[in-house]
A and B are shown apart, each in its own frame.
Chain A
Amino acid sequence: MGYQLNFGWLPQYLPVLIDGIGVTIYLMAVGAVLGCLLGTVCAWTRALGPNWARPVVVAYVELIRNTPFMIQLFFIFFGLPSLGVQMSELEAATLAMIVNLGAYSCEIIRAGIQATPRGQFEAGASLAMTPFETFYHVVLIPALQRIWPALSSQIVIVMLGSAVVSQIAAQDLSYAANFIQSRNFRAFETYIVSTLIYLVLSILLRQVLAGIGWALFPKRKAAR
């Protein structure tokens, strides 16, 4: 007797899957945008910011990059309530993703900033740009262009890593898959479907990121 694949449960559970996809996309979008923003601020601080702030950023980056994502998630969701900080599972999951991506993207963006030749800062200053203008136009955008492929990969990794937020009952795609699997006992089929959805999401996300790359760096061909 071979294993008989059965997808008859799919129509019944489609709304659950769609809700799960929605939450995963939400987590990915908010996590990626705010995470990269946080990473940029931290990268600026670490490379060019005031001396007193640098150790703070270093400590944050080291703490996050050297501990598992799941433990960070549990710390926020199960640990912080002891200190009176109570948040919903979706808030906790979003925060964990922002904090996590912030640390990783900080290091990636910092690499881009530090690869900027010193003369470029001076060129910006000699054109009477303010320090912020110099940083944005002369340093950040070329830096982002340099590290865009690495940053894109990191964003995809974080999106895929978001699967563990189902551990705190955040109702993402993995939660939907586990939920369905605990009802229909069709583990193989359920995970085939969820694997394919993750695959499609990753491919689409890469296309979107490549598109952002084209838009952000119009004059030069964006690396992919």
Chain B
Amino acid sequence: MHRRSFITLATLVAATIGLAVPAQADALADIEARGTIKIAVPQDFPPFGSVGTDLQPVGYDIDMAELIAEKLGVELELVPVTSANRIPYLQTGMVDLVISSLGKNPEREAVIDFSDAYAPFFNGVFGPDTVTVAAIEDLGGYTLGVTRGSVEDLELTELVGDDVTIQRYEDNNGTISSFLSGQVELIATGNVVAAAILERNPPIRPELKFLVKNSPCYIGMNKDEPELMAAVNAIIADAKADGALEAISMEWLEQPLPADL
């Protein structure tokens, strides 16, 4: 390598590391001062978030985001994200909240905070009738598709043996496409996601094999934001009490909220 290349490289490294990301002071005060709240929502994860016929996102998470913005009395700005990039969006301050069917686990709790649960969610392994598996131990030799960074990915990576191939796709569309095109035999995803695929009558049907985890959805926010946390939790509690959340659940999941949520 030329000496000049080295110098260029060193300069670039120094320039990159020299960048510092300013942190927000009080997120709730910022949101109120701005008059707008930026919320990350899924767009490839029906019924929580998908793109409607008018190209606007619709779903459980979008309704929840609208409810939060309305109660805070600010304008809502929806930011579409994928499973893999939703936490970086939050960490880099590009959004104030993540309402993106986000499950809780210790790794995530180390970097962001979670509100109370706002939606039920069960994930499991799904596949066509031709594949007979009933538990994690039966997965040996199969290829399983997951969305990278999702709760299913993190859980199953821990649980399965070396003889299971896990293919991780960038977003849920990739995971679903890999299953429907036969590139993977099984997928791990949410029960409601599989149900939404089944409704469209695909040639390869994702039938439930077994459930992996009961993993309700929480609203994600940056750490050390007690005012924002209190405001969001109050809105969730009110919505549970006055039936607003029940209505959202009936509309998108077509079932009442479980009592333990």
User: In angstroms, how far is the closest chain B Cβ from the Cβ of A95?
Assistant: 14
Q: Are A182 and B181 in contact (CB under 8 A)?
A: no
Contact A81/B148 with A182-B84, A187-B88 known, Cβ cut-off 8 Å = no
- Number of residue pairs A-B, CB distance < 8 angstroms: 82
Q: Mark A190-218, 1 if CB is under 8 A from B, else 0.
A: 00100110011001100100000000000
The one of B17, B149, B183 that contacts A182, using a Cβ cutoff of 8 Å: B149
The one of B21, B84, B177, B183 that contacts A188, using a Cβ cutoff of 8 Å: B21
Which chain A positions have C-beta within 8 A of B234?
none
Describe A's contact surface by its main secondary structure. helix
The one of A3, A169, A195 that contacts B168, using a Cβ cutoff of 8 Å: A169
Chain B residue with the shortest CB-CB distance to A195: B16
Q: Are A181 and B9 in contact (CB under 8 A)?
A: no
Q: Mark B144-186, 1 if CB is under 8 A from A, else 0.
A: 0100110001100000000000011110001001100111000
Q: Are B148 and A182 in contact (CB under 8 A)?
A: yes
How many angstroms between the C-alpha atoms of A181 and B182 in the bound complex?
28
Q: Are B182 and A1 in contact (CB under 8 A)?
A: no
Q: Are B178 and A187 in contact (CB under 8 A)?
A: no
How many angstroms between the C-alpha atoms of A205 and B16 in the bound complex?
23
Q: Are A192 and B16 in contact (CB under 8 A)?
A: yes
User: In angstroms, how far is the closest chain B Cβ from the Cβ of A201?
Assistant: 12
The one of A2, A3, A89, A200 that contacts B183, using a Cβ cutoff of 8 Å: A89
- Flag whether A78 is at the interface (Cβ < 8 A): yes
- Flag whether A104 is at the interface (Cβ < 8 A): no
**Interface size, chain A (Cβ < 8 Å):** 33
The one of B9, B110, B148 that contacts A178, using a Cβ cutoff of 8 Å: B148
- Flag whether A167 is at the interface (Cβ < 8 A): yes
The one of B13, B149, B169, B170 that contacts A196, using a Cβ cutoff of 8 Å: B13
How many angstroms between the C-alpha atoms of A204 and B9 in the bound complex?
13
- Flag whether A166 is at the interface (Cβ < 8 A): yes
Q: Are B20 and A3 in contact (CB under 8 A)?
A: yes
User: In angstroms, how far is the closest chain A Cβ from the Cβ of B152?
Assistant: 12
**Interface size, chain B (Cβ < 8 Å):** 36
- Flag whether A60 is at the interface (Cβ < 8 A): no
Q: Mark B11-24, 1 if CB is under 8 A from A, else 0.
A: 01100110011110
User: In angstroms, how far is the closest chain A Cβ from the Cβ of B200?
Assistant: 16
Q: Mark B100-144, 1 if CB is under 8 A from A, else 0.
A: 000000011011100000000000000000000000000000000
How many angstroms between the C-alpha atoms of A185 and B85 in the bound complex?
10
- Flag whether A41 is at the interface (Cβ < 8 A): no
Q: Are A178 and B167 in contact (CB under 8 A)?
A: no
- Flag whether B1 is at the interface (Cβ < 8 A): yes
- Flag whether B201 is at the interface (Cβ < 8 A): no
Chain A residue with the shortest CB-CB distance to B89: A187
Which chain B positions have C-beta within 8 A of A192?
16-17
Contact A178/B84 with A81-B183, A86-B183, A185-B111 known, Cβ cut-off 8 Å = yes
- Flag whether A179 is at the interface (Cβ < 8 A): yes
User: In angstroms, how far is the closest chain B Cβ from the Cβ of A59?
Assistant: 26
Contact A178/B13 with A187-B91, A188-B21 known, Cβ cut-off 8 Å = no
How many angstroms between the C-alpha atoms of A195 and B91 in the bound complex?
20
List 9 tightest A-B contacts by C-beta distance, closest first. Answer: A182-B149, A187-B88, A3-B21, A185-B111, A169-B167, A81-B181, A1-B23, A2-B20, A78-B181
30 of the cross-chain contacts (CB-CB < 8 Å) are A2-B20, A2-B23, A78-B181, A81-B183, A82-B181, A86-B182, A86-B183, A89-B167, A89-B183, A166-B170, A167-B169, A167-B170, A167-B174, A168-B174, A168-B178, A169-B169, A169-B178, A178-B149, A178-B170, A179-B148, A181-B149, A182-B84, A183-B107, A185-B111, A187-B91, A187-B92, A199-B9, A200-B9, A203-B1, A203-B5
Given contacts A183-B149, A192-B17, A200-B9, 10 further A-B contacts (CB under 8 A): A78-B178, A178-B149, A178-B170, A179-B148, A181-B84, A183-B107, A185-B107, A185-B110, A185-B111, A188-B92
Chain B residues with a Cβ under 8 A of chain A: 1, 5, 9, 12-13, 16-17, 20-23, 84, 87-88, 91-92, 107-108, 110-112, 145, 148-149, 153-154, 167-170, 174, 177-178, 181-183
